[in-house]
Amino acid sequence: MYSGMTPKAFDWQKKIRKFVKDELIPWEVHAEMNQGELPEEIEKKHRKIALTFGLSGMGIPKESGGLGLSMFEQMIIWEQLGKVTNALCWCFPEVQDWMANHFTDYQKDNYLKPLLEGSKRECYAISEKGAASDVEGSIQSTAEKKENQYIINGEKWYITSANKADFFFLQAKIKSGLNKDKHSLFIVDKNLEGIEHIDTPLFSHTYSHHHSIYRFNNVSIPSKNIIGDEGIGMDYTHSWFRHERLGIAARCCGAAERLIEEATVFAKERESFGEKISNYQAIQFMLADSVNDLAAARLMLYEICKAHDANQDVKILHGKCSMVKLYASEMANRIADRAVQIFGGRGYMRENVAERYYRELRADRIWEGTSEIHRIIIANSLYKRGLQSLIE
């Protein structure tokens, strides 16, 4: 067991492992064969269990209605949730600590509390057609202050879960005035006039959470829906990025663990040329490399979570979140590729877990910053803060 494991984290690991195994995994193939959709009563059941656990506020202080878990404990949970395909683990909304820290009372009452209770869902509208890797430099969406309103214009791409959401977190540049061109983050209710659904592209994976494109045509929102002050939106987006990057790394570790477990069981059963394939070195080497890859990624994840919980400088943490997102997503993709190979023809069937992960994990090298962008962040951090800051 990891030397830094705590009794509380261990308890959460056990609880969520059971939830995933008993409730979520049995529905994967159904989801895969039905455009990602589950029967309504099953979806409700999953949401209810997750909400009863308190997962919607796992990182929120207890005084704000959450569980007050450390980043390490949260990622222990996300790691277990990563062991199911088809995004069945996204069965609850998630309030993050930057929301609890920066929302006004009005925003807490109207958005944070409903998210915690599960009566509202959120989605993030940051990327645009010409601005995703270069969010900061290239975003074109604007917010113009008019009396007690902001008028939002722009087009947002690939908004994950928009089909299930009640509101967007939307990033735009201030159109005029003292803060002209500065980035700000807004809460935009989805039912407002001027919000136009443009397209829902099909992607490689089979999720009920779509990644749609929306256009915002002179959408008027109350000025109290800006988060924090004008000009500091990118700070919140960076907080979201860091959290999501750790979450992706954790889910990749969970996925890798499941792939190794399932591929090992298969290798020990499957015979070829009169031998179990597990006896062939070609198979052993693929499994051994996978075990090593996972062990390294998981240690890196846990140590970076501990650095987060020890309040390490946020600029250093930013680089470390890139390190683990990059490493874990590439690790999980390597393992999925090997698992497909070990399963042979079966590994190419959609009902096989390796086939689904092979497609699903590919996105983890693209969203929340591509692998190339993370290498740039790591190199910049190395130049500015030195090697020791990243590896100690």
Ligand X SMILES: Cc1cc2nc3c(=O)[nH]c(=O)nc-3n(C[C@H](O)[C@H](O)[C@H](O)COP(=O)(O)OP(=O)(O)OC[C@H]3O[C@@H](n4cnc5c(N)ncnc54)[C@H](O)[C@@H]3O)c2cc1C
One residue of 160, 184, 208, 290 binding ligand X per CB under 6 A: 160
Residue 106 Cβ, how far from ligand X at the closest point, in Å?
25
Q: Which is nearer to ligand X, 232 or 363 (CB)?
A: 363
Q: Which range of residues in 91-99, 215-223, 290-298, 367-375 is near ligand X by CB under 6 A? A: 367-375
Contact 91, 43 (CB under 8 A): yes
Q: Is 373 in the site for ligand X (CB under 6 A)?
A: yes
Q: Which is nearer to ligand X, 128 or 257 (CB)?
A: 128
Q: Which range of residues in 107-115, 250-258, 270-278, 360-368 is near ligand X by CB under 6 A? A: 360-368
One residue of 64, 70, 127, 208 binding ligand X per CB under 6 A: 127
Residue 129 Cβ, how far from ligand X at the closest point, in Å?
8
Contact 302, 4 (CB under 8 A): yes
Stretch 36-95 residues interacting with ligand X (CB under 6 A): none
Cβ atoms < 10 Å from Cβ of 325: 29
DSSP state string for 45-58: HHHHHHHHHTGGGT
Q: Is 158 in the site for ligand X (CB under 6 A)?
A: yes
Cβ atoms < 10 Å from Cβ of 273: 6
What is the SS3 assignment for 383? helix
Look up residue 130 and give its two tokens. 């010409």
The owner of tokens 């959290």 is 243
One residue of 35, 101, 133, 140 binding ligand X per CB under 6 A: 133
Q: Distance between CA 343 and CA 33 in Å, rounded?
A: 20
One residue of 348, 372, 379, 391 binding ligand X per CB under 6 A: 372
Q: Which is nearer to ligand X, 12 or 169 (CB)?
A: 169
Give per-residue burial for 348-358: e unless 16+ CB within 10 Å, then b.
eeeebbbbbbb
Residue 204's Cα: distance from chain center in Å? 17
One residue of 46, 175, 211, 242 binding ligand X per CB under 6 A: 211
Cβ atoms < 10 Å from Cβ of 33: 12
Q: Distance between CA 166 and CA 119 in Å, rounded?
A: 9
List strand residue ranges (DSSP E) for the chain, in order: 122-125, 142-146, 149-160, 167-174, 183-189, 195-199, 211-222, 226-227, 271-272, 275-276
Residue 197 Cβ, how far from ligand X at the closest point, in Å?
15
Residue 141 Cβ, how far from ligand X at the closest point, in Å?
11
One residue of 34, 107, 264, 370 binding ligand X per CB under 6 A: 370
Q: Which range of residues in 225-233, 258-266, 299-307, 364-372 is near ligand X by CB under 6 A? A: 364-372
One residue of 10, 53, 203, 280 binding ligand X per CB under 6 A: 203
Binding mask 235-274 for ligand X (x = CB under 6 A): ----------------------------------------
Q: Is 124 in the site for ligand X (CB under 6 A)?
A: yes
Which of these, 81, 8, 21, 32, lies nearest to 353 by C-alpha position?
A: 32
Report the sign of the C-alpha dihedral through residues 201, 334, 320, 390, in that order.
Answer: negative
- CA angle (22, 297, 204) in 5-degree steps: 60
Contact 244, 368 (CB under 8 A): yes
Residue 87 Cβ, how far from ligand X at the closest point, in Å?
10
One residue of 159, 283, 286, 305 binding ligand X per CB under 6 A: 159
Q: Which is nearer to ligand X, 76 or 152 (CB)?
A: 152
CA distances from 35 to 63, 85, 201, 206, 223 (A): 40, 13, 13, 6, 38
Q: Is 126 in the site for ligand X (CB under 6 A)?
A: yes
Q: Is 132 in the site for ligand X (CB under 6 A)?
A: yes
Binding mask 309-348 for ligand X (x = CB under 6 A): ----------------------------------------
Residue 310 Cβ, how far from ligand X at the closest point, in Å?
29
Which residues are within 8 A (CB) of 194 and not within 5 positions of it... i.e. 6 or more apart? 152, 216, 217, 218, 219, 220
Q: Which is nearer to ligand X, 132 or 339 (CB)?
A: 132
Summarize as ranges the residues that interact with ligand X (CB under 6 A). Answer: 124-127, 132-133, 158-160, 203, 211, 363, 366-367, 369-370, 372-373, 376
